[in-house]
Amino acid sequence: MISEKMETALNKQIALEGYASYLYLSMASWCDKEGLEGCAKFMHRQSEEERMHMLKIFYYLSEVDGHALTPAIAQPPHEFDSVKALFEEVYAHEQKVTASIHGLLKIGYEENDHTTLNFLQWYVEEQREEEALMRSILDKLKLIGDGPQSLYYIDMEVEKVNAMAAAAEGAEEA
């Protein structure tokens, strides 16, 4: 049985993950509009991944006799000043998600909820990876610059990230 406090906090995390999925979907649409095919594909994949994160918590709450709530999701922004501004927003959002996961861990420790602490360890590792990935993309953006001709190179670099992710997913399935 999960505590009411932890159930409420996990439901807030469901909403945060759902918002992230919609935010990245909105970003994918903007990238499509800007002709950034590699970036659009990356954001579509990120959107699906965030949806999976949301559902993982949703199912967990059911397993521990909690009540998962479907969240109302706020409209994310749909215009961005540049691809650099877009990835800066992604990085800031991932940092927000990390802080939220840490808040869940704090509740778990306070309540001696070892089951949820164990469940959340996957999210701790996932967030470390997400933040590192976004920092590496931002580092590449700084190197390439943000002039009009550099968008092609930025898109190619993000497409390389897509290819590496697809290869890793294929290796996991094998």
Binding residues for Fe cation: 17, 50, 53, 94, 127
DSSP state of 3: -
Annotated binding site: 17, 50, 53, 94, 127
Closest to 4 (Cα-Cα) out of 54, 72, 70, 67? 67
**Segment holding 16, helix H or strand E:** helix 4-33
- Measure the CA–CA gap between 17 and 1, rounded to whole angstroms: 23
Helix (H) or strand (E) holding 43: helix 37-63
Burial classification of residue 111, based on how many CB atoms lie within 10 Å of its CB (0-12 exposed, 13-18 middle, 19 or more buried): middle
